[in-house]
Amino acid sequence: MHDVVRDVAKYIATEREHIFMVSHDVNSEEFPRKDSYEQCSHMSIVANKFEELPSPIICPKLKLLMLKLRFEDPFKLQDDFFDEMSNLNVLSLRGYRFVESSLRYSASMESILRYPASIRRLSSLRTLCLSNLRLDDISFIGELVELEIVSIRDCKLDELPEEIGKLTKLIRLEFWNKSRTLKRISAGVLSKLAQLEELHILEVEDLSDVMYSNLGLPSKLTRYTLEMCYWNSRFDEYDKIIALKVTETRPLGDWICHLLKEGELIHSTGEGSNNVLTELQLNEFQNVKCLHLSECDLMTHLLKRTHEVIKFPNLYELELENLKCLTHICSDNVERIEFPLLQAMILWNLTEFQNFRPTANNSNPLFDEKVCFLSQKCYLLLEH
- What is the CATH classification number for the domain harbouring 60? 3.80.10.10
Count of domains forming the chain: 2
User: Is the domain of 177 the same as that of 87?
Assistant: yes
CA distances to 110, 211, 216, 275, 297 from 253, rounded to whole Å, are 37, 6, 10, 11, 22
User: Is the domain of 193 the same as that of 329?
Assistant: no
User: Is the domain of 132 the same as that of 249?
Assistant: no
Is residue 191, in this structure, part of any structural domain at all? yes
pLDDT given at position 108: 43
352 vs 342: CA distance, rounded Å = 24
User: Is the domain of 15 the same as that of 133?
Assistant: yes
Which run of H or E residues covers position 128? strand 127-131
User: Is the domain of 284 the same as that of 135?
Assistant: no
User: Is the domain of 249 the same as that of 361?
Assistant: yes
Inform me whether the pLDDT recorded for 64 exceeds 80.
yes
Question: Which residues make Cβ contacts (< 8 Å) with residue 54, sequence separation at least 6?
Answer: 31, 77, 78, 81
Using an 8 Å Cβ cutoff, are 168 and 150 in contact? no
Is residue 169, in this structure, part of any structural domain at all? yes
User: Is the domain of 128 the same as that of 273?
Assistant: no
Q: How far is CA 185 from the centre of its chain?
A: 14
Which run of H or E residues covers position 12? helix 2-14
Residues in the chain: 384
**Average pLDDT, integer, range 154-160:** 79
pLDDT tier, 167 (very low <50, low <70, confident <90, very high otherwise): very high
CA distances to 4, 19, 31, 175, 283 from 10, rounded to whole Å, are 10, 8, 19, 32, 53
Tens of pLDDT, residue by residue over 357-369, are 776 655 555 565 5
User: Is the domain of 196 the same as that of 145?
Assistant: yes
Choose from 10-19, 143-152, 177-186, 325-334 the range with maximum mean pLDDT. 143-152
Is residue 233, in this structure, part of any structural domain at all? no
User: Is the domain of 311 the same as that of 182?
Assistant: no
CA distances to 107, 109, 133, 266 from 104, rounded to whole Å, are 9, 11, 16, 25
Phi and psi for 258 in degrees, rounded to 5?
-65, -45
231 vs 294: CA distance, rounded Å = 12
Is residue 211, in this structure, part of any structural domain at all? no
User: Is the domain of 188 the same as that of 306?
Assistant: no
pLDDT given at position 109: 46
User: Is the domain of 54 the same as that of 170?
Assistant: yes
Inform me whether the pLDDT recorded for 92 exceeds 90.
yes
Q: Which has the closest alpha carbon to 72: 20, 5, 26? A: 26
Using an 8 Å Cβ cutoff, are 19 and 13 in contact? yes
Strands (E), 57-126: 64-69, 90-94, 100-101, 104-105
Q: Which has the closest alpha carbon to 311: 227, 370, 235, 225? A: 370
User: Is the domain of 277 the same as that of 335?
Assistant: yes
> What does the mean pLDDT of the chain come to?
78
Is residue 22, in this structure, part of any structural domain at all? yes
CA distances to 35, 286, 288, 289, 379 from 376, rounded to whole Å, are 67, 21, 20, 17, 10
330 vs 305: CA distance, rounded Å = 8
Q: What is the domain range of residue 72?
A: 1-206
Percent of the chain beyond pLDDT 70? 71
Using an 8 Å Cβ cutoff, are 244 and 229 in contact? yes
Is residue 213, in this structure, part of any structural domain at all? no
Inform me whether the pLDDT recorded for 14 exceeds 70.
no
Higher pLDDT among residues 42 and 107, named by residue = 42
Q: Which neighbouring-strand residues pair with 149?
A: 127, 172
User: How do beta strands 100-101 and 104-105 pair?
Assistant: antiparallel
Q: Alpha helix (H) ranges present in 61-149? A: none
Is residue 212, in this structure, part of any structural domain at all? no
Percent of the chain beyond pLDDT 90? 20
133 vs 129: CA distance, rounded Å = 11
Q: How far is CA 163 from the centre of its chain?
A: 20
Residue 31: is it exposed, middle or buried by C-beta count within 10 angstroms (0-12/13-18/19+)? middle
Is residue 229, in this structure, part of any structural domain at all? no
